[in-house]
Amino acid sequence: MHELAITKELIKSVLQFAEEARAQKVVAVHLSIGETYGVVEDLLTKAFHHFSRDTICADARLDILFKPICVKCTGCDSVYYLKTSALSDMTCPQCGCHNSQILSGDEFCIDNLEIV
Ligand SMILES: [Zn+2]
């Protein structure tokens, strides 16, 4: 259940942003989450609403954009996409080497907050 830990961090960040912006209420939270996190949208949403009950983001809508995992091979420079389940084995489909770097898909960021 790593959604719980992620959600607590998320709410902390959202509340901090909202406070700095002197918001009275958070209406929506727009997120980008890389697929390396393996986050289940439904669980994250449920956990968010559970832990934010007594805060100004209690009724906020979560709008999550999942970013695919994009990898670049350091051997032959080819760029390819990976499924979350294939992360433990990043073998380049072109040259077969194992020295691949994650270009994107490991981000977790709050893109935008809708506040009033
Ligand atoms: Zn390669």
pLDDT at residue 87, as a whole number: 87
**What region does 77 belong to: left with phi over 0, alpha with psi -120 to 50, or beta?**
left
- How far is the centre of ligand 1, averaged over its atoms, from the C-alpha of 101 (Å)? 11
**Of residues 2 and 49, more confidently modeled:** 49
pLDDT, average across residues 73-95 = 93
Angstrom distance (rounded) from CA 47 to CA 22: 25
- How far is the centre of ligand 1, averaged over its atoms, from the C-alpha of 89 (Å)? 13
- How far is the centre of ligand 1, averaged over its atoms, from the C-alpha of 100 (Å)? 8
CB 64, CB 33: distance < 8 Å? yes
Question: What confidence tens digit (pLDDT) does each residue in 20-65 have?
Answer: 999 999 999 999 999 999 999 999 999 999 999 999 999 999 999 9
- How far is the centre of ligand 1, averaged over its atoms, from the C-alpha of 93 (Å)? 7
Share of the chain above pLDDT 70, in %: 99
pLDDT tops 90 at residue 2: no
Q: Which overall architecture, per CATH, does domain 2-115 show? A: 2-Layer Sandwich (3.30)
| pTM > 0.85 | yes
Q: Which of 76-80, 82-86, 101-105 has the lowest mean pLDDT?
A: 82-86
